[in-house]
Amino acid sequence: MSDMPIFLQIRDDLAEKIRRQHFKGGSRLPAERVLAEQYKVSRMTLRQAIALLVNQGKLIRKPGSGTYVSDQEKEVSENLKGITSFTQIMQSQGKKAQSKFIVFKRHLPSAIEASNLKIDRNEEVITIERVRYGDEEPIAFEITTIPVSLVGNINRSQMAHGLYEYLEDRGFHFGKAVQEISAVVPNEIVCKRLNLTLGQAALFLRQTSYLTDDKPFEFVKTYYAGDRYRFYLEKH
């Protein structure tokens, strides 16, 4: 008998069944009671194993619905290195990128927006709220704020073709991006935008992007569907 704790043995066994597609991507895992009986353990022990697989991204909990196997084929990956547009990320993974605009407005910035963009509170900004899709499936709900002094009278149609492309066409060059990532439980509005169950976790990215002269050109807050998107970082 293995000296490994039983909940780790269960974790490994479930992971192997997922790898061999005994439990297919997107399918619902059998109820805790059923699995606990199969493994002859308490439901508390089983939950320990499932929690580890959730943390590894192999399983996804949907409150009120159950636990599901992560669909790796539908998952989008982003390398946290440099500045890359959503459209470029989708194209690199063979997916069709689309956007649905919710808000497009010109206004005076909040204190947080002004601070991140290094502008005065009396300098106008443009804020765009949109849902980003990959192969017609909602991937992200994005709130982008950009200074009018940089983009001028950019319109919705130009934004639809891509902010980065718009700036590149005008001779701007991109530098670094400062990013903060956390796990959150989004509100009802965000859940509706991303087709998430209320209470389901999401990834939240807060990013300030800079030009090569260290001038901020965008402040972005993005909610990602946790079962459809993951970040990774390469170390050398």
Higher pLDDT, 98 or 215: 215
pLDDT of residue 104: 94
Does the predicted model carry a pTM greater than 0.85? Answer: no
pLDDT number for residue 232: 52
- In whole angstroms, what is the distance from residue 153 CA to residue 45 CA? 59
User: Residue 59: what pLDDT?
Assistant: 85
- Residues across the chain: 236
Please say whether the beta carbons of 132 and 142 come within 8 A.
Answer: yes
Instruction: State the pLDDT at residue 5.
Output: 85
Q: What is the pLDDT of residues 49-59, one digit of tens each?
A: 998 888 767 78
DSSP state, residue 74: G
Give the DSSP H or E segment for 167. helix 163-169
- At residue 25, the pLDDT reads 82
Cβ neighbours for 100, distance < 8 A, ≥ 6 positions apart:
130, 131, 133
Bridge partners for 182 per DSSP: 204
pLDDT digits (tens, 9 = 90+) for 80-128: 455 555 666 656 666 677 889 999 999 999 999 999 999 999 999 999 9
pLDDT more than 90, % of the chain: 39
The DSSP symbol for 58 reads: S
Dump pLDDT digits (tens) for 32-82: 999 999 999 999 999 989 988 887 677 888 877 889 887 754 544 444 455
